[in-house]
């Protein structure tokens, strides 16, 4: 917790939140003044409450946490929180009690000023992210399977699968249909042709 309030006030709130139970967990802005970044990075591992800090010190704490590899989210409602809100990975401002400057500098705005909404939003976001990732994996797997099948068919020399055949290939030609007639029909047609030609040979159509 980083605040500009008095150390005793900040410690009382920290005790209610169960993030600090003694003066050893509190560090003031006056004590932070002039500290090198390595000292600040070590302080982030042991100190849970920063009180009486200036806007510049809030911004510096955010930068030190990011350099340490943390994904930093900052909540704030005042003008003095705007630099840290803008620099954080995710800036969250209060919608009701927050200032216009804080809302403009933030990425998210809590319309009900309830921190529990942040938790619910994170849960919903993770579910949506998980679903989108599964759909992408499915599309990639299906695409790879289709490309692999078509590629193997081309290499081996087989007909291309999953492609519609032309309409001409599915219909039989007149020659093919004429040759597929029964033997008796073919014999009858031959005899009729001979009679029209005037041949005297006898025809039998068994």
Q: Which residue has the higher pLDDT, 144 or 191?
A: 144
Residue 85 pLDDT exceeds 90: yes
Residue 99 located in a structural domain: yes
Kindly report, residue by residue over 126-159, the tens digit of the pLDDT: 999 999 999 999 999 999 998 998 888 888 888 8
DSSP for 93-147? Answer: EESSSS-HHHHHH-SEEETT--THHHHHHHHHHHHHHHHHHHHHHHHHHHHHHHH
Domain span holding position 19: 7-113
Where residue 41 sits, what CATH number does that domain have? 3.40.50.1000
Task: Determine the Cα–Cα distance for residues 171 and 174; give it in Å rounded to an integer.
Answer: 10
Residue with tokens 């047609």: 189
Q: What is the arithmetic mean of pLDDT over 43-68?
A: 91
Within this chain, do residues 130 and 49 fall inside the same structural domain, yes or no?
A: no
So what's the pLDDT on residue 126? 94
Last residue of a domain, one of 78, 113, 148: 113
C-beta of residue 91 within 8 angstroms of C-beta of residue 74: yes
Query: Looking at the DSSP assignment, which residues form a beta bridge with residue 49?
Result: 26
Residue 19 located in a structural domain: yes
Within this chain, do residues 78 and 105 fall inside the same structural domain, yes or no?
A: yes
Within this chain, do residues 59 and 36 fall inside the same structural domain, yes or no?
A: yes
Hey, how many other C-beta atoms are within 10 angstroms of the C-beta on 94?
A: 22
pLDDT band at 176 (very low <50, low <70, confident <90, very high): very low
Within this chain, do residues 63 and 156 fall inside the same structural domain, yes or no?
A: no
Within this chain, do residues 49 and 140 fall inside the same structural domain, yes or no?
A: no
Within this chain, do residues 41 and 129 fall inside the same structural domain, yes or no?
A: no
Kindly report, residue by residue over 2-35, the tens digit of the pLDDT: 998 999 999 999 999 888 888 888 999 888 887 7
Within this chain, do residues 102 and 119 fall inside the same structural domain, yes or no?
A: no
Give backbone dihedrals phi and psi of 157, rounded to 5 degrees, phi first. 95, 20
Task: Determine the Cα–Cα distance for residues 72 and 138; give it in Å rounded to an integer.
Answer: 32
Within this chain, do residues 63 and 148 fall inside the same structural domain, yes or no?
A: no
Within this chain, do residues 53 and 146 fall inside the same structural domain, yes or no?
A: no
C-beta of residue 83 within 8 angstroms of C-beta of residue 93: no
Within this chain, do residues 109 and 70 fall inside the same structural domain, yes or no?
A: yes
Task: Determine the Cα–Cα distance for residues 104 and 122; give it in Å rounded to an integer.
Answer: 21
pLDDT band at 188 (very low <50, low <70, confident <90, very high): low
pLDDT band at 185 (very low <50, low <70, confident <90, very high): low
Residue 40 located in a structural domain: yes
pLDDT band at 122 (very low <50, low <70, confident <90, very high): confident
Within this chain, do residues 100 and 13 fall inside the same structural domain, yes or no?
A: yes
Domain count, the chain: 2
Within this chain, do residues 108 and 27 fall inside the same structural domain, yes or no?
A: yes
């Amino acid at each position: 917790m980083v605040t500009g309030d008095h150390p005793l006030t900040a410690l009382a709130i920290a005790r209610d939140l169960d993030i600090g139970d003694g003066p050893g967990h509190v560090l003031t802005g006056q004590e932070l003044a002039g500290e090198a970044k390595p000292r600040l990075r070590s302080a982030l591992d042991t100190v849970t409450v920063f009180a009486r800090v200036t806007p510049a010190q809030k911004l510096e704490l955010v930068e030190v946490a990011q350099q340490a590899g943390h994904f930093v989210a900052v909540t704030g409602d005042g003008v003095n929180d705007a630099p840290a809100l803008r620099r954080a990975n995710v800036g969250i401002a209060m919608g009701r009690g927050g200032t216009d400057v804080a809302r403009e500098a933030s990425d998210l705005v809590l319309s009900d000023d309830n921190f529990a909404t942040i938790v619910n939003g994170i849960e919903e976001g993770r579910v949506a992210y998980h679903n989108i990732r599964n759909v992408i994996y499915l599309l990639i797997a299906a695409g790879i399977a289709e490309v692999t099948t078509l590629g193997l068919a081309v290499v081996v020399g087989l007909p291309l699968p999953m492609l519609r055949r032309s309409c001409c290939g599915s219909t039989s030609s007149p020659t093919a249909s004429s040759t597929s007639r029964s033997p008796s029909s073919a014999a009858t047609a031959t005899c009729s042709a001979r009679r029209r030609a005037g041949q005297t040979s006898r025809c039998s159509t068994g």
